[in-house]
Structure 1
Amino acid sequence: MVMYGYLLVYHERRSVPAHWAFFVTDEENGQSGRVYHAVGSPFTGYQVEVKPSYSLANTRRRYSIIFLGQIADSWRDQLSGYANNVAAPGISPSPLDPFAGQNCQNWLEAFIQKLVSEGILDSSALDTLSEAPKV
């Protein structure tokens, strides 16, 4: 059995970076699953958040969803541990500049890199991330 991993891009205003999250569902193009992301702000820093139950049908935010790859079901219970072991960005040195410093996108790139290095996701996921919308 496999799971499907997607980059979930929440498009904010053009003046701020888009919010990135990793959405894992049991069905191809599924609407319900789990979300792994870093939440916070450049002023306060970020923290890793795992939402074990998330439905795209309930969001009112504008988003795009981009397929990153299949994940063997045997990794299901370990993904949260991997997410929590990737350090979330701290307070930005220039918090008034939303494009300065690290944010949720940097955390997600590091998380996906970890999943690729562990053999959980194919390396093509990194290529897909590099082309993903940043705003």
Structure 2
Amino acid sequence: MPRTISLGVFDNGAKPAHSAIFIPTDGQGLKGKIIHVTGNPATGFFLEFKRNYDFLAELRTYEIIPLAQVNDRYVRDTVGSGQESIDTIARDRLESVATVVPAPGRSVNPFDPSAPNCQNWIQDYIQKLISEGLIAGDASLVLQAAPRVLRK
């Protein structure tokens, strides 16, 4: 059975918007899993999985943009106690693919607006999912059309 994965785009002030992949628990609603890299160009980024993430508790402005369909067998909902948790351990195929996509390291010029960031990682991750045959190629078109800056 197919499940929709989405691009979450978050307000980040004057800086480029923060981008993440959102997979709703049981394929619906505003609570689920976030796959993203966190950090900044000055210190570098690292991969993180936020489980039981709830958009209803999010204070920043955000957009959720449907990105692609993925076979349900590649996604594992890890609900546990139902409380939000953060870890770096892959528990399904989509997370395993994320672990092989390098996160941007420290930038030589962290104040350069073109320094690699989470948006670059999302592009690389989506390309890897496409190349592995887990999602359709048109996901890259959705990603290209997504906002680069999101403001309140």
Q: Normalised by the size of structure 1, how large is the TM-score?
A: 0.92
Aligned to 1:83: 98
Aligned to 2:83: none
Query: Aligned with 2:27: secondary structure?
Result: coil
- Correspondences of 1:39-58 after superposition (within 5 Å): 39-58=38-57
List gaps (5 residues or longer) in structure 2.
76-91
State the alpha-carbon separation in 2 of the partners of residues 4 and 122 from structure 1. Answer: 12
Aligned to 1:22: 21
1:81 Cα offset (Å): 0.9
State the alpha-carbon separation in 2 of the partners of residues 100 and 124 from structure 1. Answer: 25
Aligned to 2:139: 125
Query: Aligned with 2:141: secondary structure?
Result: helix
State the alpha-carbon separation in 1 of the partners of residues 70 and 61 from structure 2. Answer: 26
State the alpha-carbon separation in 1 of the partners of residues 119 and 55 from structure 2. Answer: 19
Query: Residue by residue, what CA displacement relative to the aligned partner does 1:48-82 show, whole Å, maximum 9, x if unpaired?
Result: 11112211111111001111111111111211111
State the alpha-carbon separation in 2 of the partners of residues 60 and 18 from structure 1. Answer: 14
1:130 Cα offset (Å): 0.7
State the alpha-carbon separation in 1 of the partners of residues 68 and 94 from structure 2. Answer: 14
Contact map agreement 1:4 1:27 (CA 8 A) in 2: yes
How many pairs are equivalent?
Answer: 132
State the alpha-carbon separation in 2 of the partners of residues 129 and 64 from structure 1. Answer: 13
Query: Residue by residue, what CA displacement relative to the aligned partner does 1:85-107 show, whole Å, maximum 9, x if unpaired?
Result: 1100001121123x122000000
Identity %: 40
1:131 Cα offset (Å): 0.9
Query: Aligned with 2:140: secondary structure?
Result: helix
Pick one of 104, 107, 127 that aligns with 1:92.
Answer: 107
Task: Kindly report the root-mean-square deviation, in angstroms, between the aligned alpha carbons of the 2 structures.
Answer: 1.1
List 4+ stretches of structure 1 deviating above 3 A.
Answer: none
Contact map agreement 1:94 1:100 (CA 8 A) in 2: no
List gaps (5 residues or longer) in structure 1.
none
